[in-house]
Amino acid sequence: MNTLEDIYRSSVSFAKGLGVTFKNFLRKPVTLQYPDERPVLPVGYRGIPALLSDKETGKARCTACGICARTCPLGLIKIDSVLGPDKKRILNDYTLEAGRCMVCNLCVESCPFDSLVMANDYELADYDPDKLYFHKDRLVELGRPYEHSDPFHVDEPKKAAAEAKPAGEAKPAGEAKPGPGGEGA
Amino acid sequence: MAALADTWQALLDWYFALPTAILVPIAGLLKVLAVFGWIVINVLILIWLERKFSGRLQSRLGPMRVGRPHGWAQTLADTIKLLVKEDIIPRGVDRWLYVIAPAVVFTPALLVWAVVPFTKNWIVSDLNVALIYVAAAGSLAVLGIFMSGWGSNNKWSLLGAMRAAAQIISYEVPSVLSLMGVVMIAGSLSLQGIVAAQHRVWFIFLQPLGFIIYLISTMAELNRTPFDLTEAESELVAGFNTEYSGLRWAFFFLGEYANLLAASAIAATVFLGGWSGPFLPGIVWFVLKTYFFVILIMWIKWTMPRIRIDQMMEVGWKFLIPAALVNIAITGLVLLVV
Amino acid sequence: MAEIDLRTVTGGDRPELRDVVQKDLHEDEILVNMGPQHPSTHGVLRVVLRLSGETIVDAYPDIGYLHRGVEKIAEGWTYPQFIPMTDRLDYVAAISNELTYVLGVEKLMGLEVPPRAAYIRVLMAELQRVASHLVWLGAFGGDMGALTVFLYCFREREKILDLFEMATGARLTYSYMRIGGVRNDLPPGFVEKTRDFIKLMRERLKEYDALFTGNRIFEARTKGIGPLSAEWAIALSAAGPTLRGSGVAYDVRRAEPYLVYDKLDFEVPVGKNGDTYDRYICRIKEMHESLKIIEQCLDALPDGEVMAKVPKVIKPPEGEIYAMTEAPRGATGVYIVSNGTGNPYRLHWRAPTFANLQLIPDTVRGFKIADAVMIMGSFDVVLGEVDR
């Protein structure tokens, strides 16, 4: 009798299992055909650190203070600067060793001048390892689409909105547009 | 068009005018080539089908890139890749066994097709002991698997080969016994005879127990999950074919799918009436029924977890063989009474 | 033909291991290397198996293939700099490691995190627990040859990773916890998406149940396999579901509540027999409990800041501290010795799976190879954490 019960129970459990796989057969596949289709990146996706630039002059906002270089756990940031006539540092070059960067966001957070940002670009591989040292121009170019280091940019607009109360306009600035980066598009 | 038909007719006339001593071997060779072509084409389709089907079961798309739409050329690309890969014979292998084992695994799958009726007339040889022949040919593959496992000089391969020997030999018994019920009803061992006996009702309805036992033991003989212990990826790395690569591995792969196809064809012939069916031509029915079994076996494979070796032996000897004997006894009794 | 002794493991092994595994090798026995490259050791674990036929006579785990010297690295880095490194310990549950570490530093500094940050931390840690258990369940199914479940689990995990990506900007190494809170507030839409996910996950858990829990083959493969007694589990300081599967209801979230766990309502599932099946059931139930916790966190999420007032340069006072959390794999601890500078003087990581790994020889002895794979799978070993 036990054997019969066992057989019955087994058959039911197998049928159930087959039912589940069949149910999933009817579902839409979740595969993303990557190079043809691209994921919709959320705001604040961390691709690679990039330099923010002044919208008017187009120059990097970086003041060459070197805090990011000291914050980076791996020491990947090298800043080359000279002392200008008005005792301000002038940025000559800003090098990021992108091949080793672990995109931890610490440099962006440490920057007191809001001049670093996490760009959304992710297809940055190269055949030549030397090209993985990103220099100032490349980093400025990567940071061009962004305005703030904080992707959600909640601090000031939220406060401003709370004070002025224009209801609909307190949305976070839509700087980090989802979608592919400038590289492959 | 007419000219072509004339040429064809002329060719046929010339051919049939040949002396028998030449005609028979040529006919045999042509049949072998035709069967081989049928197997290769179907295996290409089967591999693609398995990948697409398992993909859909798993919420994936399966191959999509090579050959659009739906990656139809993926298997061709894989075949070419396997053909041009370096032929590696590892140091320390038993060279002779290692080299011929893939062929030994593949050949039985080819042999089975000698007796499978595609339609009423399309059959290589309507052997009068076809079912016995099928069982005998099917159990030859274990030789090749054991040769590869022993010859590879690899402990995982050896374990896989040991499992294969135990598994295939013990499941051969219920597999043959389950077919005996059908033989008793049909009164014939020839596959054409069995198809003819099913013109009123398919044997799957007369022999449900026999069918289930046959399905289970066939899956065990085919080394498909839940019985894929001989290669059991997560346990034995790749079992008996761990050391194989390139063309030799491709032969194992080809053999696996050819066996799947052969077993499905036998099941379709024995239990679903083979090529017989209304409206459509016989070959269409035959292919449809065969692929029904192929899909069923794939579906089970991609759902079930793997069973353990001792449990598998237990199922075989303590459940399937007694059940098959009971099935024979019941069939005999019913035949006696009716 | 080259002479190769099939019975032993060869190669340039350390003499201490080679001598141990070959000692008194019976002539019916063979030694087999399972790993470091084997499909089912989940990483680079190597276990030398002494086999008699298919039966395991003894097993000798060999670790260290993924050693990166993380504890030493910590001594050269400042406290905040080490946060991204904790992600790389138990890489399947990165958030839980970060949480352990930042809790340790906060305890050392006597920092209190804002309530919103505390809730977000718990929320994230529990999402991570579900994600981690899904990886485990998938891999466990894969060990058993049920590859379909593997893909189902990863499909659902992807949803969690999407949530993480939304909140933290990354999918695996989040770098989200900060000393004094979390890096940024939850993005708009996160709460709704999480609620949707909970609903979906509850349905999908039923499907896994249908594929596994009642399945006859699954039961045959797991019930009574690799039993671990409660005494032995405690004696070898096993942790997490491995410990609770043996019937010991020890959960750091209950025993020494941190953050807001004392305000949340959840159960600690325990098993009875301590076999592979019980460990499986424990993890499945934990996923249900985690979903419950996530829901409560979403309901109770207070407004306010997500970062406490923290000095720019973090220099904890002299002293030493041990902080512990319940990570998906069990009680994870961090021991920090501070000498008052910006770098830890010494940092030690208590990895739960390192303790669980010791159980392998005792539990697999006398079972078949196929069982050994399942037993090792049921301990959920992550080598990034074991080897550090």
d(CA C148, CA C218): 14
CA–CA gap between residue C54 and residue C371 (Å, rounded): 10
Structural domain contains residue A185:
no
Minimum-distance CB partner of C40 among B158, B226, B234: B234
C187 contact residues in A (CB cutoff 8 A)? 42-44, 152
Provide the residue range defining the domain that includes A82: 49-160
DSSP H or E run through B272: none
CB < 8 Å to B56, chain A: 25, 29
Which residues in chain C have Cβ-Cβ distances shorter than 8 Å to A24?
148, 152, 207
Is the minimum CB–CB distance between B55 and chain A shorter than 8 Å? yes
Among A132-136, A181-185, B150-154, B190-194, name the one with the lowest average pLDDT.
A181-185
The pairing of beta strand C30-34 with beta strand A48-51: unpaired
Q: How far is A119 from chain B (nearest CA, A)?
A: 30
Write down the pLDDT at residue C340: 83
Distances (CA, A) of B300 to B44, B61, B204: 21, 19, 18
Q: pLDDT digit string (tens) for B118-172? A: 777 777 777 788 888 888 887 788 888 888 888 888 888 888 888 888 888 888 8
Q: Does residue A40 lie within any of the structural domains?
A: no
C213 to chain A nearest CA, in Å? 9
* Chain B residues inside the 8 Å CB shell of A18: 299-300, 303
- Please report, for residues B253, C50, C103, C149, C376, the alpha-carbon distance to residue C146 in angstroms, rounded to integers and kept in the order given: 20, 27, 39, 6, 16
Q: How confident is the prediction for chain C on average, in pLDDT?
A: 85
Determine the average pLDDT of the residues in B200-227. 82
Containing C3, the helix (H) or strand (E) segment is none
Interchain CB distance below 8 Å, B58 and A27? no
For the stretch B73-117, pLDDT in tens is 888 888 888 888 888 888 778 888 888 888 888 888 888 888 888
Within a domain: A12 = no
Q: Can you spell out the DSSP letters for B120-159?
A: SS--S---TTHHHHHHHHHTTHHHHHHHHHHHTT-HHHHH
**Is the CB of B72 inside 8 Å of chain A's CB atoms?**
no
Q: Which helix (H) or strand (E) is C149 found in, with range?
A: helix C147-168
- The position carrying tokens 């008194």 is C24
CATH of the domain at A96: 3.30.70.3270
Q: What is the total count of domains within chain A?
A: 1
Give the one of A17, A18, A29 whose C-beta lies nearest to B59's C-beta.
Answer: A29
Please report which confidence band the pLDDT of residue A168 belongs to, taking 50, 70 and 90 as the band edges: very low
B205 min Cα distance to partner chain A (Å): 18
Instruction: Give dist(CA C364, CA C378) in Å, integer.
Output: 12
For residues C167 and B61, give the distance between their C-alpha atoms in angstroms, rounded to a whole number. Answer: 29
- The letter for the amino acid at C1 is M
ipTM of the modeled complex:
0.78
Average pLDDT over chain B reads 83
Distance of CA B230 to the CA centre of its chain: 17
Ranges of chain C whose pLDDT falls below 50: 1-4
Q: Provide the pLDDT for residue A153.
A: 62
CA distance B162 to chain A (A): 28
- Show me where the domains of chain B are located: 92-337
Interface check for B58 against chain A (CB to CB < 8 A): the answer is: yes
Does A73 contact C at CB distance below 8 Å? yes
C-alpha gyration radius of chain A: 25
Chain A residue closest in CA terms to C183: A109
* Domain membership flag for residue A106: yes
User: Both tokens of residue A126?
Assistant: 């190269």
